Structures are given as C-alpha cells and as structure tokens.
Chain A
Amino acid sequence: MTGINANIGISIIVSAILYGTPLVFAGIGELFAERSGVLNLGVEGMMLMGAVTAFLVSQRLHGPNALVLLVAVAVAILASTAMAAIHAFVTITLRANQIVSGLTLTIFAGVIGLSSYIGESNNLGAIAGKHQFSELNVFGLAHLPVIGPILFHQSAMVYLSWLLVILAVLYLYRTRVGLHLRSVGESPRSADAMGINVTRYRYIHTLLGGALAGMGGSLFTLQIATNWIDGITAGAGWIAIALVIYSFWRPELLIIGAYLFGAFTSFGFDLQARGVISIPSEFWSALPYLMTIIALVLVSLGSIRRRLGTPAGLGIPYVRGES
C-alpha cells in the first residue's frame, strides 16, 4: 500500500516540477520587473515568442544536441527580450499606461500574433521536435528511492531554475544593487533622491523579465511538449503573474508556489485517470487563481500590506518633480 502511495506522491512531485519550471522562470522574471515598479502583463506573449523561436531553431539548426539547445534558448531569450523592450520603451520613456501596453504585448506576440505568425510561416505546426531537454543523471544518483527521481533526475533547465531562485534571493537581499532595486520599486522618489537612476533600473529589470519569460517559454517546446501548437503555453504567462503576487514578491516563495500550481495542472489529469478523486479537473485549474484572489485581498488589508506587500510604486510611471 505504501509503495503505491509513494509512487503517486513521487509522480505528483515530478509532474509538479516539470510543469512548474516554466512558471519559475517567467515568475522570477516578472518578479524582477514588478520589483522595479513595472507591471508587465505581456508575459504570455513573451513566453510564446520564446517557445516558437526556440522550436524554430531546434528544427533548423543542425548539430550536437547540447549546442542546438543552447542556441535555441539563446534565441528565445533574444526574442522575448525584444518584446519586453517594446513594453519598456512605451511605458517607461513614453509613459503610456502599463496595463494597456502589457495587454497589447500579449495580443501582439500571442496566440493570433507574432508567435503564431512565426509558427505558421515556418510550418512548425504538428511536427515532431528534433531536440529536447532530457533528464540528466546527476552523480549517478537517479536510482535512489524517493529523492533520486526528484533531486537527481531532472533536466538541465530545472537545475538552472533552482540556481536562478538562489541567485534571485541573494541578489534581492544581499547585494547593494538588489537593495537599490527594492527601493526603486517601493519609493521611486526616495530612490531618486538618493541618487539611484530609477529609469535605468526599470529598463534593466523589465528586459530581464522578458529574457526569463523567454527561457520559460522555450521549455514548452523543448521539454514539456516537444512540438509547437499555437498558444502552447495555455495561460502559463497569466499564472506566472498570479504567482508573483501570490508569493508576495519573494523568490523563495515563488518557487514553492510554482510547483504547487504545477501540481494542480497535472492533478486533474492524474487523479481523474486513477479514478481516485471525483473533483473535476477544472476545479484544480481554477484553484491557483482563486488562491491568488484570496492572497490579494489579504495583501490589501492594511497592516499586512506593509509587511508583505506590493511594491508601492508598482504600475505608476515615475516622473521626477511630479507626484
């Protein structure tokens, strides 16, 4: 009996990590952008750009697996960063409304936009992937019970995502630049008064958000699904945005949330298939969003807001001398 339960548990965790890793990348990226005060609702679009360009490279480039994957991810990063650059320029320099701009980016790059265009014009639909990230056997320990499959049998990108979270935590809380970032997001006026270039920080971190979103997106076509469908991310970008809030803008909480939400994604299918629970899969799909709403209400209740809350300068264009 325990063996079966343990198996279910491990497979849930492994699924959670698989589906959660793109969320970690995109989520950390959006976290950085929001920490600098820029709300980027275009994550879904940026992820799709990453996904399609990575797939395109993996189809067209010939060479050893590792090299092709490396170039594919690099190109994905370039594409998604370019998207983020548009949003950054329009909202930071031209001071347009961040919400509308982000949504425009999703439409521009998303399901009926540029990513779809690239996919269709290169006939990328419904063909098998040639290169993908496969699980590594780290230190040869993949056979260990329980921790083997979880810790030592993951793909390179998963390990990279763990490194990313550690670096993000160190960056935010242990570096001076990270300190400056936090102040830019919380109080651009004070940061500016202290000689910190608010505009530069916002640009850099919005672009960084784009790059990471592209990395997350590339996972869809290079690991999870290994082919290209229009809109393959299926809302992962929106979940990433939800995650940032749900984790109160802290990377260490974000990765837990990402795996939690990743588990929900696979829950529905998994449990239903085994006939274990009769809760409909839609419930699990909706749960991350419901949980985020509750988190939002909590965050807006005064005292908690101060401790855990939204970067106070989020969403507001910063103009020196005004406001």
Chain B
Amino acid sequence: MTDDPTTTRQSAYLNASLREGTPRLVGAGPVPALATRGVTKHFPGVVANDRVSFEVMPGEIHALLGENGAGKTTLCNVLTGLYRPDEGYVEVRGEQAAFHSPRDAHDAGIFMVHQHFTLVQPLTVAQNVILGWSRRRGIWFSPRRVEREIAEIAEQFHVPIDPSTKIWQLSMGEQQRVEILKALYRGARTLILDEPTTVLTPQEVRQLFETLRGMAASGTSVVFISHKLPEVLAVSDRVTVLRAGKAMGTVRTADTDAKSLAHLMVGRDIMLGRKGSSGKTNAAQAVLSLSDVSATGDLGTPAVVGVCLEVHPGEIVGVAGVAGNGQRELAEVIAGERPHTAGTITIAGRPQHGTPWEAIDAGLGYVPEERMGVGVAPGLTIADNLRLKSYREDGHGPLLHAKRGLRNATELIERFDIVARGPKTLARELSGGNVQRLLLARELSSHAKVLVAASPTRGLDVASTESVRQLLTESADRGVGVLLISEDLDEILDLADRIAVMYRGRVVGVLDRDGADIDHIGLMMSGVAS
C-alpha cells in the first residue's frame, strides 16, 4: 500500500499515450486495443461469464449490451484487474496480459469509470484529478499551475470542464467528466464506462456522447456498458450483446436495429403464466393507486417521473426493468421513506403524505430491497424483528408481552419454514434465504392489503426462491394486492398478471401478461418502444 506509485513501467506507458496513438500493425489487419478470449468466471452457484470473447479496436466506441445479470459488469471487472478469470485471458494490444490488481490494468492503460464516483466534494476538479498520483514530482503544488495542466488535458481530449470548480458545485454529468479526466490524466488508452447515463439528464447524455466521440477520434477506445438501446444505437460503433453470461454476438451498429438487438438481449420462449391467473378483470377498487407521482433520487436527479399505476386486490402487478431506472425509488416513495414531489399516492383509499407510519397504518406491507439493516435489524432477535411493526398493537398499555411475542414468533417460524435455532436467534446469524422468509413472514401475517416486494428473490438459492414465489402467489390468492418489483424478467413473467415496464423513471407501458410480446417488453425496457 504505497502512496506514490510512479513506476518506470507506468511512465513508459504514459509517454506512449501522450504521443498520438496509432495501433501497431502486426501481421495482417489492425490489432484490437483490448480483447477477451474465452473468458469464464464462476461465482458460487452462478456462471457470470461463459467463454466470452470480444474485441475492441483502437479509437472505437464499443457497447456491451445486456440485461441485469447478463455478465457485463463481471466481464469489465475482469478487464480492469478486479477479478481473475477462471478460464481464458485478456489481451492488450495483441499480447496476453495477466492482471493481478487494478493497478496492473492501469499500467496497461485500462481504466473504468464506475457508477459511484470516488470524488472528494470540497476539493476542486484539478485537485481530484491529481489526487494520489501526479505527473510532476515534488512536494509543492500550486493550485493554479495544476489547474492549467488539467485544463490542457481537458482540451486535448475534448472534455469540457472548469478545473477550478469544486466538486459539490458540479452536476452529475460534470462530475462524471472529472472521473473521465482522472483516467485520461493517468494515461488511459481504453476507458470502460459502467452504465454512465444512469445519473445524467438528456442534455448531459448528449454531451457525454460528444466527449466520447472526441476521445475515440484521438485514438482512445471506449467500452460502453449499457442496457439502453437508444443510446447504444446513437453512440457506438459496434455492439456486443451478452445474455446470461454468454456473448450472443458482435455486430456493427450501422448494420443492426433496435428490434434485432432487443431480441438478442432478451429473446426467450414464452413462459407459462401464473396458475389460476384467470384473466378476470378486477373490478374491485385498487388497493394501491399512484397518480402522476414523481420523486427525486439520492443524487438530486429525477428518479420517478409521472408514474400512474394501480394494483387491485388479488392481482400481482410486476414492475419490470433494468435496475436503476427508478424502481427502488418508486418502492421507497410508496412506502413513505422517500418524499414524492408530485402526484398522489393512495393506499387502500387513504391518501399518503409521505411517512412510513402512515403507509403501515393504511395497510402497506413492504419487503425492501435492502434486507439486512433496513427490513431487518441485524442485532435484534427473530422474535423482535417479527414484531418490528406490529408491536404497537400489542396490548393496550406501554408494555410489550414477551411471551406472546415468542409464541407468535415460534408459530411464524414454523409456518414460513425459517431455519433457525429459535425465536431468540439474532437476525444477523440467518442466511439470506431465511432473512427473506423472515421478512415475508412478518409482512404477510400483518393483515396487509398491499404488498410491495422489491427484488424479493435476489441472491437466494433455488429452494428459497421457489418458496418465496409461492408465498407471494398465495398471498395474492388470498386477496392481497402485490406489486412485484424485480430485475428478473423471468420471475415477472412467471408470477405477474399485469406487467409495467419502467425506464428512466417512467412507466412506459402496462400490459396484460397473457399475450404479452417478450420482444416488445425488451424494447420497452431498453427505452425504445412504449
């Protein structure tokens, strides 16, 4: 762990990058700037990458397209040295490379801009760029000289940014540019961007594309991870589609269109729908109703935009979409954990003003995306967690009835098959699947009228996934209205009666499950159709 990592190797690469980049011509044809050859990566129970091969040419903008879980991020983590592939290898400029750490990847000129920025808010752009490593040696730095230096680089790579502004003064798009600048300053030849437009406004997206084109024109290669078809079509030269860990193919963007890409991305056989989903039209009054609801995200950008949605008793409405399109914020808004800036939310006929206790009172059950620490208090016992919300109704006075609580807990543990030593076990000792069962046990036994379940089977093993899905179905059969938010399209296709697709904070369409066209859904998820 050293502070000042100027190795001779790195300076050598640096010097190389400062010269106008021209690919070496070896043998016949241009050499890819970066390539993976048969890269396979396993994780417990999952094959994240399955013999994936693709190439990025110098000066090319190459998009990696796929749904959640398709393996895009894993592949890029392999490219940047964060993971080591189980099979296959990474090739840099025609030579096989073995990265042991991100530093090795940096030495090879490969940098990644993540979704979460690592910027220090009160410092200026220039200071953030030189943080940890500077081209000049010496103790002193003059803010002005550094700013000039960064301004030059910014101009050279067509990244419009004022180096003297402080980070907290910048918009998301501008902060992203700082992250890009950091990579360029350190001699990036290949820049990988992970879902870069998630936090950007449409104008900022356009500016980003201009920047990327400028960089590509000067010889830098760009790998652009995305699930958004319009953007991929707009900015990339070639596209590689990943599905379920496999590379489905690489095409030139000019030679393809949205429909074919969507099919590559999502294409699957039509699944059978929910048993008992009789297609009956539900005339009963909606238990959950959102009318033109909008909300702002953590970073200040709009996360939920004008959403209209209804859930009726006994039905499962699935919210499909790639993660990061506002689903989490939507769940939080409904649960009262996030204020909504516009529109009305009604739970069981009661309008909501945006507090959790109001929602709970009105009959909302909520299984949040973050289980340990939000849905479940890790240091409390199972019994305590089971009455996390219902403790208020326990008796009349201020006292809690411990014995009754334990009895209830034991009963629920049995009914919902929670594997644990007893009701007094601490929640943090439970496995993921059991935590989820705990959550569902609590929410489903609480006479809730509406259940919002966010990514309920994420991270669970097969058996737990099955039982969770069954619990959801059963509760719908009993008359609860279920809003199922999931990144797993299969799951939604399996369980939902109606499917709403979210893209960029909007509900771009609501379809009945019966007769839904999968490709159409895929297009909606990627922002192309509505």
Contacts and interface: CB of A to CB of B under 8 A. Distances in A.
Given A193-B118, A312-B121, 20 more contacts: A174-B140, A174-B142, A174-B143, A175-B141, A176-B130, A177-B139, A179-B131, A179-B141, A180-B131, A180-B132, A182-B120, A183-B123, A183-B131, A187-B121, A190-B131, A195-B3, A195-B5, A197-B2, A306-B122, A306-B168
Contacts of A179: 123, 127, 130-131, 141
A226 B45 CA distance: 73
16 contacts: A173-B143, A174-B140, A174-B141, A175-B140, A175-B141, A176-B139, A179-B130, A180-B132, A183-B120, A190-B120, A194-B118, A195-B103, A195-B132, A196-B3, A196-B132, A200-B3
B357 interface: no
A157 interface: no
Interface of B: 1-3, 5, 103, 117-123, 127, 130-134, 138-143, 168
Which of B2, B118, B122, B140 lies at the interface centre, i.e. has the most chain A CB atoms within 10 A of its CB?
A: B122
Query: 7 tightest CB-CB pairs across the interface, nearest first?
Result: A194-B132, A190-B118, A193-B118, A183-B120, A195-B132, A187-B120, A194-B131
Contact of B121 (A193, A200, A306): A306
Contacts of A202: none
B121 A186 contact: yes
A102 B131 CA distance: 31
Nearest to A312: B121
Contacts of A195: 2-3, 5, 103, 132-133
A195 B103 CA distance: 9
Contacts of A316: none
Interface string A186-216: 1101110111110010000000000000000
Interface of A: 173-177, 179-180, 182-183, 186-187, 189-191, 193-197, 200, 306-307, 309, 312
Contacts of B5: 195
A213 B492 CA distance: 63
A310 to B, nearest CB: 10
Q: Classify the interface of chain B: helix, strand, loop or mixed.
A: loop
B121 A176 contact: no
A94 to B, nearest CB: 19
A309 B166 CA distance: 14
A187 B118 contact: yes
A68 to B, nearest CB: 34
Contacts of A182: 120, 122-123
Contacts of B123: 179, 182-183, 186
A318 B122 CA distance: 19
A196 to B, nearest CB: 5
A182 B140 CA distance: 15
Contact of B118 (A176, A177, A189, A197): A189
A183 B2 CA distance: 16
Contacts of A180: 3, 131-132
B298 to A, nearest CB: 15
Nearest to B168: A306
B130 A190 contact: no
Given A176-B130, A180-B131, A196-B131, A191 B120 contact: yes
A306 B143 CA distance: 20
Contacts of B121: 186-187, 306, 312
Contacts of B168: 306
A186 B122 CA distance: 8
Contacts of A183: 120, 123, 131
Given A187-B120, A306-B121, A175 B2 contact: no
Contacts of B118: 187, 189-190, 193-194
Contacts of B127: 179
Contacts of A193: 118
Nearest to A198: B1
A191 B132 contact: yes
Which of A177, A189, A195 lies at the interface centre, i.e. has the most chain B CB atoms within 10 A of its CB?
A: A195
B166 to A, nearest CB: 9
Contacts of B131: 179-180, 183, 190-191, 194, 196
Which of B1, B120, B130, B143 lies at the interface centre, i.e. has the most chain A CB atoms within 10 A of its CB?
A: B120
A177 B120 CA distance: 15
Which of A175, A194, A196 lies at the interface centre, i.e. has the most chain B CB atoms within 10 A of its CB?
A: A194
Contact of A197 (B3, B117, B120): B3
A307 to B, nearest CB: 8
B122 A176 contact: no
A259 to B, nearest CB: 26
Contacts of A176: 130, 134, 138-141
A92 to B, nearest CB: 14
Which of A175, A186, A189, A190 lies at the interface centre, i.e. has the most chain B CB atoms within 10 A of its CB?
A: A190
